[in-house]
Amino acid sequence: MPLRFVTKPKRTSASSSSLSFLINPTFTLFSYHSFPSPTPQRNTNPKPDQTLCLSSKLRALPAQQSPSSYYVSLLQSCIARKAINPGKQLHAHLWHMGLGLDIVIATRLVNLYCVCDSVTDAHILFDRIPKGNVFLWNVLIRGYAWNGPYEAAISLYYEMLDYGLVPDNFTFPFVLKACSALSAIAEGRKIHEHAIRTGWEKDVFVGAALIDMYAKCGFVGSARQIFEKIEVRDAVLWNSMLAAYSQNGCPDESLALCSEMALAGLRPTEATLVTVISASADIAALPQGMELHGFSWRHGFESNDRVKTALVDMYAKCGSVLIARNLFERLKEKRVVSWNAMITGYAMHGHATEALVLFEGMKEKALPDHITFVGVLAACSHGGLLDEGWMFFESMERDYRIDPTVQHYTCMVDLLGHCGRLDEAYDLIMQMKVLPDSGMWGALLNSCKIHGNVELGEVALEKLIELEPNDSGNYVILSNIYAQAGKWEGVARMRKLMIDRGMKKSIACSWIEVKNKVHAFLSGDNSHPDSDAIYAELNRLGVRMKEAGYVPATGSVFHDVEDDEKTTMVCSHSERLAIAFGLISTPPGTRILITKNLRVCEDCHDAIKFISKITEREITVRDINLYHHFGDGICSCGDYW
């Protein structure tokens, strides 16, 4: 038996009396000078602006002089304008004229209240009228699917079935939208079965809703199965499938589907391209993003500023800030979102000066918003610009009336921590206006690791355990702080705590894409077909690095491990294996891009600086914190990360 959602809107005294104007014969909201004649003429449809000219004379008109079709037209105009108050006045008139229960008129009134965000009023009216009309149920289900509570939409759907009505191709998209909002996959599957039994599964609107529901619940494979079942596909269906891939981090599939769509003779929309390009940006899929760039240009979007802004964001997030800036300068109109994309791009790649110079230029042409200041403060944090950071933080509230959010405070905590002002960072957390989240305490814990502050590190971990008790990475960071301080009993305590709580250290993984194929490596990995060549390259690099002055930093490796083994352990970390593979698999001078799921350790950070100088390669490593651009022995982060 399907799960029944029984949540209904609370009928408080306030909500129950919200239609009290219906029993007030003197109800009027406005005083107007004109009202269009209700007498049917050649064209009785009022213009939208005439809807707002309801006169008190309306109340005195006999019902027989006001045909229901005319009132339906008036209500449609109110709906189009979302004119709730004139609609209520018309509702009161209709009620007193005895037309309030006319099913056609009542359905329009329910629709009016739904589109004006008065779903409770819509439900009260719904309960008073006959319910043999599927369209009426659809209107109220849609109202809850749009405005919530979403459970009420699903509950209404089952009530409709109990009433003996059969859902149509409008019912399913609305109730599936509610399932999507709740990530209610079990309920969504049951409604999918109903769509199959009623013959609506292959309808394009129902299919698009099913694709959206499965995608939002993380079942992109099921979404694709729905897509394949529908033989006649319109642009809406294609765009739904593209959005499904984008939401689930599948840029390769998005790109392939874009090509299929073009072959089918359908042109992607602006919204579609922005969605799939943004998905590539979020996972730093530069090759796919570049192909989407070419695809959008070939299909006539080269002058579209929204698509260009998405490309600016994509290139910036993927580390190609020069290309991003070139596209940014070619925008016809630079909106706030465009400035934000470029400023944030500079910030995340450690180009603090460029970010702040661009911000000064923005202030002359656009009004910065809260996202702008997140980028600006992040730039100050990555650049260690403490005075500038405080100046912008204070200016944000004083000059732009922007209240600091947890993101802004996190940037300041990170900045203070990187500059060694750990006590000030802690004081800021204690005094700020918002509740600290795990990101903020994580920033403090990371700063404690950089500066070896055991006491504050313990405080930060205690708070993090309250917020995210199952994140093993936090325990590992404090364990490393203990190790650096030589407090091996603390290391043992952390290790025991993780064992007692059934947690394992997150496995470090780094990956590199070579010739359209992704190669992933774990620390100490020997599973790659080219492992012998990879380790030979690491040994060759190790000799040259030692000659150049490199000394392995093994301070955070457990004290019960021999020195030679410690060196071997740090020298075979996953990012080094990926870099070595990149060096032997690409031509000299080729930029190497590595992605790592965890933070780059201090020793690997130091080692990659040496490797970049020895090999004369630009090496970019994207770790969990930011992008590191290594070149000629220097990292763009300035050793702040």
CB 310, CB 279: distance < 8 Å: no
Lowest mean pLDDT among 11-15, 99-103, 312-316, 391-395: 11-15
| Domain encompassing residue 596 | 509-635
- Give the phi and the psi of residue 246 in degrees, each rounded to 5: -65, -45
Question: CATH number of the domain that 461 lies in?
Answer: 1.25.40
Burial of 80 (0-12, 13-18, 19+ CB in 10 A): exposed
- Whether the ω angle into residue 149 lies within 30 degrees of 0, i.e. cis, is yes
Angle between helices 422-431 and 438-451 (to 10 degrees): 170
Lowest mean pLDDT among 1-5, 139-143, 512-516: 1-5
* Residue whose C-alpha is closest to residue 331's, from 319, 313, 355, 346: 313
User: Is 551 within the bounds of a domain?
Assistant: yes
Do 496 and 517 share a domain, yes or no? no
User: Is 608 within the bounds of a domain?
Assistant: yes
Of 441, 469, 500, the residue at which a domain comes to its end is 500
The structure tokens listed for 498 are 């993780």
Dihedral angle, C-alpha 306, 308, 310, 313, nearest 10 °:
-140
How far apart, in Å, are the Cα atoms of 46 and each of 53, 80, 116? Answer: 10, 12, 20
Dihedral angle, C-alpha 571, 572, 576, 577, nearest 10 °:
150
- What is the tally of structural domains in the chain? 2
Strands 509-514 and 627-631: unpaired
* DSSP bridge pairs for 510: 521, 596
User: Looking at the predicted structure, is the pLDDT value of residue 22 above 50?
Assistant: no
User: Looking at the predicted structure, is the pLDDT value of residue 151 above 80?
Assistant: yes
Identify the pLDDT of residue 4.
Answer: 43
Identify the pLDDT of residue 100.
Answer: 59
CB 137, CB 165: distance < 8 Å: yes
CB 282, CB 294: distance < 8 Å: no
Do 540 and 591 share a domain, yes or no? yes
Q: What percent of the chain has pLDDT over 90?
A: 55
CB 157, CB 144: distance < 8 Å: no
User: Is 527 within the bounds of a domain?
Assistant: yes
The identity of residue 153, as a single letter, is: A
* Residue whose C-alpha is closest to residue 239's, from 223, 261, 256: 261
Distance, in Å, from the CA atom of 371 to the CA atom of 276, rounded to the nearest integer, reads: 22
Do 429 and 543 share a domain, yes or no? no
How far apart, in Å, are the Cα atoms of 72 and each of 47, 53, 91, 155? Answer: 13, 16, 11, 28
Instruction: Tell me the CA end-to-end span of the chain in Å, nearest whole number.
Output: 54
Do 537 and 445 share a domain, yes or no? no
Of 500, 528, 560, the residue at which a domain comes to its end is 500
Residue identified by tokens 């695809």 is 295
The identity of residue 372, as a single letter, is: T
Do 525 and 445 share a domain, yes or no? no
3-state SS class at 559: coil
User: Is 461 within the bounds of a domain?
Assistant: yes
Identify the pLDDT of residue 67.
Answer: 57
The identity of residue 561, as a single letter, is: V
Do 613 and 572 share a domain, yes or no? yes
Do 453 and 527 share a domain, yes or no? no
User: Is 308 within the bounds of a domain?
Assistant: no
Identify the pLDDT of residue 10.
Answer: 42
Do 496 and 516 share a domain, yes or no? no
User: Is 441 within the bounds of a domain?
Assistant: yes
Question: What integer is the mean pLDDT of 469-476?
Answer: 90
- Tens digit of pLDDT for each residue in 507-526? 889 999 898 788 999 988 89
User: Looking at the predicted structure, is the pLDDT value of residue 7 above 70?
Assistant: no
When pLDDT is cut at 50, 70 and 90, the band that residue 5 belongs to is very low
- Tens digit of pLDDT for each residue in 275-297? 889 888 877 778 888 988 998 99
26 Cβ partners below 8 Å, 6+ apart? none
Return mean pLDDT, the chain: 85
How far apart, in Å, are the Cα atoms of 399 and each of 286, 374, 404, 411? Answer: 38, 16, 13, 19
Burial of 514 (0-12, 13-18, 19+ CB in 10 A): middle
Do 601 and 579 share a domain, yes or no? yes
- Tens digit of pLDDT for each residue in 431-467? 998 999 999 999 999 999 989 999 999 999 999 999 9
The identity of residue 533, as a single letter, is: A
Do 531 and 585 share a domain, yes or no? yes
Do 475 and 492 share a domain, yes or no? yes
Of 468, 500, 532, the residue at which a domain comes to its end is 500
- Tens digit of pLDDT for each residue in 257-276? 888 888 888 877 888 889 88
The identity of residue 555, as a single letter, is: G
Do 491 and 604 share a domain, yes or no? no
User: Is 56 within the bounds of a domain?
Assistant: no
When pLDDT is cut at 50, 70 and 90, the band that residue 21 belongs to is very low
User: Is 150 within the bounds of a domain?
Assistant: no
